């Protein structure tokens, strides 16, 4: 059974899942436009799967920012699978690539992309440098959780950046959730203390905490985040339950460097990859997951509130290969009709 057919069967009759799959298809248009056209050209150039075909395929994947280690692993898997299945025709390779990309991403941890909600108050700490869409992401997450029936509160812990508190306050009003804040320049840990106490007293389900994104070096960053951690965990043992790192997909390998830096100074539990719709190098999702072993929990696929989608490896890979997989399925259906 082809990758496309498996995906179609999995979400058949589920309108929400089918809508989400379409969002991936639309959101990955920029990546797919360059990526798919190159794959198609490669398939047209080579009629049989040989070493020259693999070498050019490797180059295409590297150009999509899939990452060197991931590409090497994928090529080894592909060579084995092509030999095992005795695939000769290059037109049959796309489905094999798709399945292997999903396998590499999931690596036996398919459910790691889900948020770790707990009974009582769930505290989510949002970290990331300025300009990656951190505040917007917080607003969109608040909107999503509220629509799921949860009560949500925000904490304006980025007290250093001019306008950051006001920006979060605007998002709070937009999605209809309360924002705990103090004046600009206040101690972020004091804001977190107030926010946690307030969320507990009001019986809130989810508290999403913004943090500063412009700290001069790793030592300052580590000290600030450790202080915030201590305040939160003192009030709620085991919290924060998630530390989500916002990364801008359009920055490519720079996003990888940011992820490595934050991983060194705090326990990042998941990635929110913003602006995936704005890049032609959407393969960065696979590079982050495979190299840093941090799951991507949400991806930004557009500007609308519901365009921040929970990450799904199958939908993502389908978004990368949509036209080719659709065509492959049509050919399969035609063969069955004969």
- pLDDT tens digits for range 194-212: 999 999 999 999 999 999 8
The DSSP H or E segment spanning 51 is helix 51-63
Domains of the chain: 13-110+316-337 (1.20.120.140), 117-313 (3.40.50.300)
135 is in an annotated binding site: yes
277 is in an annotated binding site: yes
Residue 257: is its pLDDT beyond 60? yes
25 is in an annotated binding site: no
29 is in an annotated binding site: no
Residue 195's pLDDT is what? Answer: 98
Residue-averaged pLDDT of the chain: 88
Lowest mean pLDDT among 63-67, 227-231, 238-242, 322-326: 322-326
Q: Which residue has the higher pLDDT, 61 or 236?
A: 236
Q: Which residue has the higher pLDDT, 3 or 233?
A: 233
266 is in an annotated binding site: no
133 is in an annotated binding site: yes
337 is in an annotated binding site: no
238 is in an annotated binding site: no
Once rounded to an integer, what is the mean pLDDT over residues 29-35?
A: 86
pTM (predicted TM-score): 0.90
214 is in an annotated binding site: yes
Contacts of residue 332, Cβ cutoff 8 Å, sequence gap at least 6:
2, 5
C-alpha dist (Å) from residue 64 to 15, 93, 179, 290: 30, 18, 39, 15
State whether residue 178 is helix, strand or coil: strand
119 is in an annotated binding site: no
User: Which tens digits make up the pLDDT trace of 58-75?
Assistant: 999 888 888 888 899 889
176 is in an annotated binding site: no
Residue 228's pLDDT is what? Answer: 94
């Amino acid at each position: 059974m082809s990758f496309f057919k498996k995906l179609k069967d999995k979400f058949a009759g589920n309108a929400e899942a089918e809508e989400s799959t379409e969002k991936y298809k639309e959101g990955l248009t920029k990546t797919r436009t360059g990526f798919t056209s190159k794959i198609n050209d490669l398939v047209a150039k080579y009629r049989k799967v040989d070493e020259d075909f693999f070498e050019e395929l490797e180059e295409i994947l590297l150009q999509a920012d899939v990452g060197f280690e991931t590409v090497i692993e994928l090529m080894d898997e592909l060579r084995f699978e092509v030999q095992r299945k005795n695939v000769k025709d290059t037109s049959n390779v796309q489905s094999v690539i798709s399945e292997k990309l999903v396998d590499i991403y999931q690596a036996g941890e398919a459910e790691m992309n889900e948020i770790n909600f707990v009974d009582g108050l769930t505290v989510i700490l949002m970290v990331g440098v300025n300009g990656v869409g951190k505040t917007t992401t917080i607003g969109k997450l608040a909107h999503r959780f509220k629509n799921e029936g949860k009560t949500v509160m925000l904490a304006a812990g980025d007290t250093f950046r001019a306008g950051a508190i006001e920006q979060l306050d605007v998002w709070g009003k937009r999605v209809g959730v309360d924002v705990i804040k103090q004046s600009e320049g206040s101690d972020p840990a004091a804001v977190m203390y107030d926010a946690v106490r307030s969320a507990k007293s009001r019986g809130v389900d989810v508290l999403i905490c913004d943090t500063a994104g412009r700290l001069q070096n790793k030592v300052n960053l580590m000290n600030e985040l450790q202080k915030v951690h201590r305040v939160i965990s003192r009030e709620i043992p085991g919290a924060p339950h998630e530390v989500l790192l916002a990364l801008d997909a359009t920055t490519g390998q720079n996003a990888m460097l940011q992820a490595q830096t934050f991983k060194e100074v705090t326990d990042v539990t998941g990635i929110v990859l913003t602006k995936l719709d704005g890049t032609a190098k959407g393969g960065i999702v696979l590079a982050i997951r495979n190299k840093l072993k941090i799951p991507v929990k949400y991806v930004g696929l557009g500007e609308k509130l519901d365009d921040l989608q929970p990450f799904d490896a199958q939908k993502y890979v389908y978004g990368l290969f949509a036209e080719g997989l659709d065509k492959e399925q049509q050919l399969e259906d035609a063969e069955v009709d004969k």
